[in-house]
């Protein structure tokens, strides 16, 4: 009995030491790795945020959790790639993808959303699940099922790496130009969206629709136009997310699964906050990369698969609306 | 109303019964070969060329020769998406149509249907994949994994590393890593590599990549960079492969110390990285390229003609050629079976005999227009793998080139492991062990 107690105690000490002490030794051994992991976490966070932004935009305007956002990212990215493969110049390919996403927004409004005006959120959510399945099948018919390399040269996306801080940290830290591009464009996009939502008449109308679409209709806000607009906007964000995610690996239908990475980001940042998507993405990105690297000794591989959800769960317990989400009070 | 209902009922009944009638007809008209393929989903990039290679060779035999010894081949694809549950559904749906052999192209699906084979009496040919202990034909008479298995290949990789390091004694203290898909397939070589690590004193580290996030491997590569293994093996598939190769380039891992399994050596895995992936190595057991007379025949009789879906540019690609080789083994096993049972529509049991008695000699390969394409293949009652050698190929920045000689697996290590594991499985699953004379 005593031996068993001792074993448990030893295990506890090892476990806690692995969680809270060993990482410091690892940092002392390779300080460059800490900086590398932090940079990697931030860049992963930016990528998660790009997907989360699409969710936030649609949720803000229509109260719909768009399950099809992931496949929209794939659709948008593949549109660019396929057009470039067909010999269309990159800038026109992006313009073409914008047109594709706007047409898709019109079709979704007409065929999916309009018949469901004023239905419960859960009904609209279910409709987007159906939409995701449809788009996946339809996309494979149009684009083919094969993943496709993103032509970074044609798109003038730098994909080299810069090595810095080698003298200071013993070994150099790698900064990928792809990540810098994603961060730069991501920041621009967020700034533009914030200005659009807060400083324009359409942006304010969009928020009114989100609050109560019946009331918004009664004061003359064109609900259908707003929906088309916001789905188009989410589609344009998806183009950027699809191209950047695809550039890291390949543009293909398996990217749609990565969209689920945006879920803890949304829970953490709040479903209605654009800055929340960015900050939530950064916290989740950095947290899971640090956990994966420094806790693998005690938790094994795959920490990043679940740590984001644990962080989000803890936040949910304390702030159910997320860090930046609007507190919803409903009369029951 | 009654008439309408009756009519609907008749249509529904016809819809249910018609495929069965068609299948029965199919089995009478020719030899039915179902193909569990995946042209959709995240693994389509790998699955499509294999499916094309398999289909094209059978189409060639039907078009040019009228089938095999006058008996037509009826080929039907069932899309699995590389999903085990869907693959099992495909198996169940097609087995009643007179299927003579299954080529699942997924270790998960292979492992799931193996227990069904003795009852259904349909052999499984998992060519270079699947359950390695199934190479023990005494325990698994219905499963064939010729020409070689994952365990044999892992031993070839270690043998190659030892050659490069200056002998097996130089492996002591070295670190060998394995980046693998976190899936039954990806985990297959682990027991062998653990055993070899114990024997030769090298450290063995694994880096699992979950299938759902296989396109986001940054963390994995940071760990590899931190651990700095002297050599790195890869058991990847689909979109995992090009992502891993990009990951290796990102962390400046030496490409000539990075060796992929034969499923991680397709053109699409490295083409995107191009020159940056120069030096990357992969195991192989057949030729790459289209410099064989058989490919001229395929161009003449198959390409551009329905039902072939192959673009001409795909001829000679690694996984297309693998599909061709797989189809050649199936066709030669059918011929072997016909030699004993007559030129007729054979059944699964006869096909099993054909597979076990196949003798694909160098002379026969030449007759087929594939001289030197692969090594002669022969298996036996107790050895369904055949312990054939493997060579390494090297990506030169634009194409694969042969890098090493054919290297024989370490049979003295692998075979006892196979037999021990097969015996264990036999006990667990209450499988009879047949005697091989």
B193 and B119 within one domain: no
Q: What angle do CA A94, A98, A99 make, to 5 degrees?
A: 120
Q: How many domains are contained in chain B?
A: 2
Q: Which residues of B touch A245 (CB under 8 A)?
A: 215
Is the CB of residue A173 less than 8 Å from the CB of residue A31? no
Q: Which residues of A touch B40 (CB under 8 A)?
A: 140, 145, 253
Q: Is residue B98 part of a domain?
A: yes
Percent of all residues in chain A with a pLDDT value above 70, rounded to a whole number? 98
B300 and B279 within one domain: no
Decide if A161 and B218 are in contact by the 8 Å CB cutoff.
no
B192 and B83 within one domain: no
Res B19: pLDDT: 45
pLDDT in tens, A131-156: 999 998 898 888 887 778 889 889 88
Is the CB of residue A48 less than 8 Å from the CB of residue A260? no
Q: Indicate which of A146, A153, A182, A300 best probes the interface with B, i.e. most B CBs within 10 Å of its own CB.
A: A146
Mean pLDDT of chain A, nearest integer = 86
Q: Which residues of B touch A44 (CB under 8 A)?
A: 216, 218
Q: Which helix (H) or strand (E) holds B120?
A: helix B117-120
From the list A37, A255, A305, which residue is nearest B222 (CB)? A37
pLDDT in tens, A166-191: 778 888 899 989 888 888 888 888 88
* Cα separation, B330 vs B124, whole angstroms: 10
Res A89: pLDDT: 94
Q: What is the mean pLDDT of residues A226-232?
A: 88
Burial class (CB in 10 A: 0-12, 13-18, 19+), A297: middle
Tokens standing for B20?
């069965």
Give me the domain span that covers residue B103.
20-149+290-388+421-429
Is the CB of residue A53 less than 8 Å from the CB of residue A272? no
Of B226, B305, B310, B289, the closest CA to residue B49 belongs to B310
Res B24: pLDDT: 45
Q: Which residues of B110-138 are buried (b: 16+ CB within 10 A; e: fewer)?
A: bbbbbebbeebebbbbbbbbbbbbbbbbb
Of B275, B212, B202, the closest CA to residue B238 belongs to B212
| Residue A140 sits at the chain B interface (C-beta within 8 Å) | yes
pLDDT band at A330 (very low <50, low <70, confident <90, very high): low
Give residue A63's region: left, alpha or beta (phi > 0; psi -120 to 50).
Answer: left
Tokens standing for A9?
């105690």
- Inter-chain Cβ pairs, chain A and chain B, closer than 8 A: 97
* Cα separation, B281 vs B287, whole angstroms: 15
From the list A44, A161, A288, which residue is nearest B250 (CB)? A161
Res B268: pLDDT: 86
Res B418: pLDDT: 94
Res B23: pLDDT: 45
Res A315: pLDDT: 87
B155 and B277 within one domain: yes
Decide if B250 and A248 are in contact by the 8 Å CB cutoff.
no
**Domain containing residue B97: CATH number:** 3.40.50.2300
From the list B208, B219, B239, which residue is nearest A254 (CB)? B239
B404 and B280 within one domain: yes
ipTM for the predicted complex comes to 0.81
Q: Is residue B4 part of a domain?
A: no
Decide if A147 and B214 are in contact by the 8 Å CB cutoff.
no
Q: Are strands B72-79 and B30-37 parallel, antiparallel or unpaired?
A: parallel
Domains and CATH numbers, chain A: 18-318 (1.10.3470)
B398 and B348 within one domain: no
pLDDT in tens, A293-326: 999 888 888 888 889 999 988 988 888 888 887 7
B163 and B284 within one domain: yes
B283 and B157 within one domain: yes
Residue B154's CB is within 10 A of a number of other CB atoms, namely 29
Phi then psi for B213, rounded to 5 degrees?
Answer: -120, 30
Residue A58 has pLDDT above 90, yes or no: no
pLDDT in tens, B80-113: 988 999 999 999 999 999 999 999 999 889 999 9
B138 and B64 within one domain: yes
B256 and B211 within one domain: yes
Q: From B182, which residue of chain A is nearest by alpha-carbon distance?
A: A302
Res B4: pLDDT: 54
Q: Is residue B7 part of a domain?
A: no
B399 and B376 within one domain: no
| Residue B82 sits at the chain A interface (C-beta within 8 Å) | no
Of A157, A164, A156, A149, the closest CA to residue A180 belongs to A157
Q: Is residue B49 part of a domain?
A: yes
From the list B41, B215, B268, which residue is nearest A249 (CB)? B215
pTM (two decimals)? 0.82
Q: Please report, in tens digits, the pLDDT of each residue of chain B (437 residues total).
A: 454 555 555 555 444 444 444 444 455 689 999 999 998 877 787 899 999 999 999 999 999 999 999 999 999 999 998 899 999 999 999 999 999 999 999 988 999 999 999 999 999 999 988 899 999 999 999 999 999 999 999 999 999 999 999 999 999 999 999 999 998 889 989 999 999 999 999 999 999 998 888 888 988 999 999 999 999 999 998 889 999 999 999 999 999 999 999 999 999 899 889 999 999 999 999 998 999 999 999 999 999 998 999 999 999 999 999 999 999 999 999 999 999 999 999 999 999 999 999 999 999 999 999 999 999 999 999 999 988 999 999 999 999 999 999 999 999 999 999 999 999 999 999 999 999 87
CB within 8 Å of chain B, chain A residues 165-194: 174, 176
Is the CB of residue A304 less than 8 Å from the CB of residue A255? no
Q: Is residue B434 part of a domain?
A: no
Q: Is residue B5 part of a domain?
A: no
From the list A140, A145, A249, which residue is nearest B246 (CB)? A249
Q: Which residues contact B183 (CB under 8 A, 6 or more apart)?
A: B107, B108, B211, B237
Q: Which residues of A touch B243 (CB under 8 A)?
A: 248-250
Q: Is residue B310 part of a domain?
A: yes
B257 and B223 within one domain: yes
Residue A225 has pLDDT above 60, yes or no: yes
Q: Indicate which of B38, B181, B219, B242 best probes the interface with A, i.e. most A CBs within 10 Å of its own CB.
A: B219
Residue A273 has pLDDT above 90, yes or no: no
Of B321, B392, B339, B328, the closest CA to residue B361 belongs to B328
From the list B48, B216, B219, which residue is nearest A146 (CB)? B48
């Amino acid at each position: 009995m005593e031996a068993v107690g001792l074993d448990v105690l030893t295990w506890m000490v090892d476990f806690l030491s692995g969680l809270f002490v060993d990482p410091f030794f690892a940092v002392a051994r390779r300080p460059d790795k800490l900086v590398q992991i932090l940079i990697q976490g931030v860049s992963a966070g930016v990528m998660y945020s790009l997907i989360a932004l699409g969710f936030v935009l649609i949720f803000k305007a229509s109260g719909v959790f768009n399950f099809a956002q992931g496949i929209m990212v794939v659709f948008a990215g593949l549109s660019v790639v396929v057009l470039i493969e067909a010999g269309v110049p990159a800038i026109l390919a992006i313009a073409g993808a914008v047109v594709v996403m706007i047409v898709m927004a019109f079709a979704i409004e007409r065929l999916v959303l309009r018949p469901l005006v004023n239905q419960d959120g859960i009904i609209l959510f279910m409709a987007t699940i159906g939409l995701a399945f449809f788009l996946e099948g339809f996309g494979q018919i149009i684009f083919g099922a094969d993943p496709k390399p993103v032509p970074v040269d044609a798109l003038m996306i730098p994909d080299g790496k810069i090595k810095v801080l080698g003298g200071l940290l013993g070994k150099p830290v790698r900064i990928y130009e792809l990540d810098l591009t994603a961060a730069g464009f991501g920041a621009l996009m967020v700034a533009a969206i914030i200005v659009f939502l807060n400083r324009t008449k359409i942006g304010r109308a969009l928020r009114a629709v989100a609050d109560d679409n019946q009331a918004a209709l009664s004061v003359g806000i064109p609900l259908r136009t707003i929906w088309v607009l916001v789905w188009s906007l989410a589609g344009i964000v998806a183009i950027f997310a699809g191209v950047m995610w695809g550039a890291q690996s390949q543009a293909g239908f398996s990217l749609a699964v990565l969209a689920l990475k945006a879920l803890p980001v949304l829970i953490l940042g709040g479903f209605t906050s654009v800055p929340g998507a960015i900050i939530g993405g950064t916290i989740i990105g950095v947290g899971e990369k640090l956990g994966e690297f420094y806790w693998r000794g005690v938790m094994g591989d795959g920490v990043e698969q679940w740590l984001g959800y644990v962080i989000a769960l803890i936040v949910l317990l304390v702030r159910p609306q997320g860090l930046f989400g609007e507190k919803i009070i409903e009369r029951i | 109303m009654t008439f309408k209902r009756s009519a609907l009922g008749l249509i529904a009944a016809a819809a249910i019964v018609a495929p069965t009638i068609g299948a029965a007809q199919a089995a009478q008209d020719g030899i039915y070969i179902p193909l569990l393929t995946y042209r959709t989903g995240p693994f389509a990039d790998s699955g499509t060329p294999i499916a094309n290679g398999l289909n094209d060779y059978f189409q060639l035999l039907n078009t040019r020769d009228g089938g095999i010894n006058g008996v037509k081949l009826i080929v039907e694809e069932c899309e699995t998406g590389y999903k085990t549950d869907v693959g099992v559904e495909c198996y169940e749906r097609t087995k009643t149509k007179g299927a003579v052999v299954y080529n699942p192209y997924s270790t998960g699906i292979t492992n799931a249907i193996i227990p069904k084979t003795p009852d259904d009496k349909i052999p499984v040919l998992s060519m270079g994949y699947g359950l390695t202990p199934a190479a023990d034909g005494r325990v698994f008479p219905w499963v064939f994994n010729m020409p070689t298995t994952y365990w044999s290949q892992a031993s070839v990789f270690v043998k190659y590393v030892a050659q490069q390091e200056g002998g097996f004694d130089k492996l002591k203290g070295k670190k060998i890593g394995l980046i693998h898909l976190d899936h039954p397939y990806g985990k297959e070589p682990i027991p062998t590599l653990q055993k070899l690590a114990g024997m030769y004193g090298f450290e063995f580290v694994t880096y699992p990549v979950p299938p759902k996030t296989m396109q986001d491997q940054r963390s994995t590569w940071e760990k590899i960079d931190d651990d700095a293994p002297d050599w790195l093996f890869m058991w990847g598939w689909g979109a995992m492969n090009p992502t891993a190769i990009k990951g290796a380039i990102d962390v400046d891992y030496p490409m000539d110390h990075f060796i992929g399994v034969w499923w991680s050596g397709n053109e699409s895995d490295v083409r995107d990285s191009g020159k940056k992936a120069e030096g990357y190595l992969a195991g192989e057991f057949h030729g790459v390229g289209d410099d064989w007379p058989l490919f001229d025949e395929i161009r003449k009789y198959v390409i551009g003609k329905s039902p072939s879906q192959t673009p001409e540019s795909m001829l000679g690609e690694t996984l297309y050629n693998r599909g061709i080789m797989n189809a050649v083994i199936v066709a030669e096993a059918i011929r072997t079976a016909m030699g004993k049972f007559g030129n007729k529509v054979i059944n699964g049991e006869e096909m099993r005999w054909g597979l076990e008695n196949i003798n694909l000699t160098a002379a026969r390969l030449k007759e087929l227009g594939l001289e030197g394409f692969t090594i002669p293949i022969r298996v036996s009652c107790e050895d369904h793998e055949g312990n054939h050698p493997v060579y390494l190929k090297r990506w030169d920045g634009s194409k694969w080139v042969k890098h090493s000689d054919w290297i024989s697996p370490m049979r003295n290590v692998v075979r006892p492991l196979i037999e021990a594991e097969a015996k264990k499985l036999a006990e667990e699953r209450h499988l009879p062990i047949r005697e091989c004379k």
